[in-house]
Amino acid sequence: MIALTPDDRTRRRLAWQRLFDAYGPLLTDSQREAVRLHLEEDWSVSEMAAVRRVSRAAAHDLVRRGLEHLASTEGRLGLAERLQRLEAERDRLRRRLRALEADRPGRGADRAGGSVHV
């Protein structure tokens, strides 16, 4: 097995978080809470099991099934990927707009009274 670098782990966690944000409401209440605790609070399976008073295997299964459902839903719908592409394009356009504003003689943010908010 290949070891993940901290950057890889961060990217993977952010990808899961994006899926959770998009599709979390489609999970059962138990799955949603388990995945939320796993992703947002960084709880271990042991911590979840202790709080929920279930076995570690049961807590692990809740997280696993929740993540599988998120991935499966994204595979069918692709909404999170589309949203990510749209956000990247928006950011690219914002950078381009700032560059154009900076290149415009006598019309910088100081003279115009502020920058344009997009």
Q: Identify the structural domains of the chain with CATH numbers, from first to last.
A: 19-103 (1.10.10.10)
Res 104: pLDDT: 86
Res 7: pLDDT: 82
Amino acid 53 reads R
pLDDT tens for each residue of the chain, 118 residues long: 556 677 888 889 999 999 999 999 999 999 999 999 999 999 999 999 999 999 999 999 999 999 999 999 999 999 989 998 999 999 999 999 999 999 988 765 554 555 555 5
Res 57: pLDDT: 97
Given a contact cutoff of 8 angstroms between Cβ atoms, the answer to whether 31 and 69 are in contact is: yes
Number of Cβ within a 10 Å radius of residue 27: 21
Query: What is the rounded distance in angstroms from the CA atom of residue 14 to the CA atom of residue 16?
Result: 5
